[in-house]
Amino acid sequence: MFDLRKPICFFALAALLITMLGACREKLEGGAACPALCPEQGLEVRDTTLFPFAFPSPVAIDSTILGFPPIGTELQLVIARRGDSLQTAAIARFDTLSSTIRIGVTDTSRRPITGIDSASLVIEVGETPIATSRVTIEVYDVDTTAADLDVGAIRPLFRPDRLIASASFAQDSLTGRLRIPLPTAFLASRVIGGQRVRLGIAVRSDASVQIRSLSTESGGPPVITYLARVANDTQTVAAATNSRGALRGLADFVVVLRSSQAPATLLVVGGLPSSRVYLRFVLPTEFLDSTTIVRATLVLTQIPSTAVDAADTIIVIPRLVRASSILDSDPGKASLLLGDPQTFFVPALRLVPGASGTRKFEIVNAVNRWKSEDPEEFTRALVLQAADEGNSAHSAIFYSSEAQDPALRPRLEITFIPIAGFGLP
């Protein structure tokens, strides 16, 4: 016996589908039922361009923040002299130096040091240096009564009467541990007298030169080694000091003696001292709640950099800001509070500093996260950061919202789908 219910159900379902399709083809406008029943015809994709101005806030949302990484947190100490464009030096602080030694391996007592037979500053060069001829590493006495963070008081101390030591190296030997002999009288007076030592490390060459020394942060800081002796004894022992005193975070850092800076009206990523670009967006919550964001593109216009390493490649990473709206008026502090790139992934962009043109950062992941967050708890902002921040001199430069031509200003292009609601006609 045949089951007659199956064909009846089939024809009933077919009739229902034909009715629904007919309704959509007719584009009924009496209610919201058709877009929901026939999404392939009710789908509406729109594009819009937003210029990122944060009115009525008096603080510009696109700005260059200078001074990264924070002083004393550098993984490498960039010591460079790149013509008239860039000159940097490293500062090594020794708050305490060993003033006693043991005589022999069986001696359990420590005796006061009365003299220094030899002394050296040792630095460890990491990555491949930039050098085409012999390089001289210079050491200056940069001790001063100024505050530790007063870099302005340190710069003038790199002068001939403050030079205490130097050593010359062939360009192919600028690797590993480099030893610069120090004058024994200079060090002895400080060791015996219990005084601190502040050394400035610079380079010079007949051509452009740059080396990267490891730092305290990377586990290879500059150290002072010396052979000391005690009274009435000719034996000497090696004593190395690693004590940096209370301000360990300032054990070593980079100071920029000379650099070319882009105008303040431009946006700069990277360079030395390194900069970040802070961008805060105004995206109405009503807009985010009523749309599905398909694509979001931050569009910037790049300007050719004329600084050093313009032919290099710089990787610019968009980082999600994790600061609250309380810091909207202080982008400098907000730009320190960034999400982990692995957790808050936004694709990076690889650029040539000397190039120009339109650059597009795909930030849909950031915009969609903002949709689910309270703007008071997490401000809607991004920071553009160089992947090798503080380790390289190259930079990427863009027009800001102050550009005379509106077409050159930063903008946000969004592709979205309005969310269809259900309701009565």
Mean model confidence pLDDT for the chain = 83
Residue 20 falls inside a structural domain:
no
Contact status, residue 167 vs residue 137, Cβ threshold 8 Å: yes
Residue 423 falls inside a structural domain:
no
Q: pTM of the predicted model, to two decimals?
A: 0.81
Residue 21 falls inside a structural domain:
no
230: pLDDT confidence band, cut at 50, 70 and 90?
confident
Q: Are residues 315 and 230 in the same domain?
A: no
Residue 60 falls inside a structural domain:
yes
User: What are 72-125's pLDDT values in tens digits?
Assistant: 899 999 999 998 889 999 999 998 888 888 776 666 778 888 888 889 999 999
What is the distance between the alpha carbons of residues 244 and 253, in angstroms, rounded to a whole number? 13
- Mean pLDDT value across residues 287-313: 91
Residue that is last in its domain, among 227, 250, 273: 250
Residue that is last in its domain, among 250, 277, 312: 250
Q: Are residues 198 and 116 in the same domain?
A: yes
Q: Are residues 310 and 210 in the same domain?
A: no
What is the distance between the alpha carbons of residues 134 and 66, in angstroms, rounded to a whole number? 33
What is the distance between the alpha carbons of residues 345 and 319, in angstroms, rounded to a whole number? 8
- Mean pLDDT value across residues 151-157: 95
Residue 108, number of CB atoms within 10 A of its CB: 5
Residue that is last in its domain, among 250, 278, 297: 250
Q: Are residues 402 and 302 in the same domain?
A: yes
CATH of the domain at 380: 2.60.120
Residue 26 falls inside a structural domain:
no
Q: Are strands 176-182 and 115-125 parallel, antiparallel or unpaired?
A: antiparallel
- Mean pLDDT value across residues 176-205: 94
What's residue 236's pLDDT? 54
Q: N- to C-terminal Cα distance for the chain?
A: 48
pLDDT at 202 over 90: yes
Q: Are residues 368 and 341 in the same domain?
A: yes
> SS3 letters for 300-368?
EEEECCCCCCCCCCEEEEEEEECCCHHHHHCHHHHCCCECCCCCCCCCCEEECCCCCEEEEEECHHHHH
Q: Are residues 190 and 137 in the same domain?
A: yes
Residue 27 falls inside a structural domain:
no
Structural domain for 246, as ranges: 76-250
Q: Are residues 314 and 378 in the same domain?
A: yes
* Domains identified in the chain, total number: 2
What is residue 145's three-state secondary structure? coil
Q: Are residues 106 and 207 in the same domain?
A: yes
User: What are 375-425's pLDDT values in tens digits?
Assistant: 899 999 999 999 999 999 999 999 998 999 988 999 888 899 988 654 444
What is the distance between the alpha carbons of residues 104 and 11, in angstroms, rounded to a whole number? 104
243: pLDDT confidence band, cut at 50, 70 and 90?
very low
What is the distance between the alpha carbons of residues 284 and 76, in angstroms, rounded to a whole number? 42
What's residue 61's pLDDT? 81
Q: Are residues 59 and 95 in the same domain?
A: no
Residue 4 falls inside a structural domain:
no
Which residue type does 122 have? V
What is residue 187's three-state secondary structure? helix
Residue 253, number of CB atoms within 10 A of its CB: 24
250: pLDDT confidence band, cut at 50, 70 and 90?
confident
42: pLDDT confidence band, cut at 50, 70 and 90?
low
Q: Are residues 166 and 81 in the same domain?
A: yes
Q: Are residues 203 and 312 in the same domain?
A: no
Q: Are residues 359 and 412 in the same domain?
A: yes
Residue 92 falls inside a structural domain:
yes
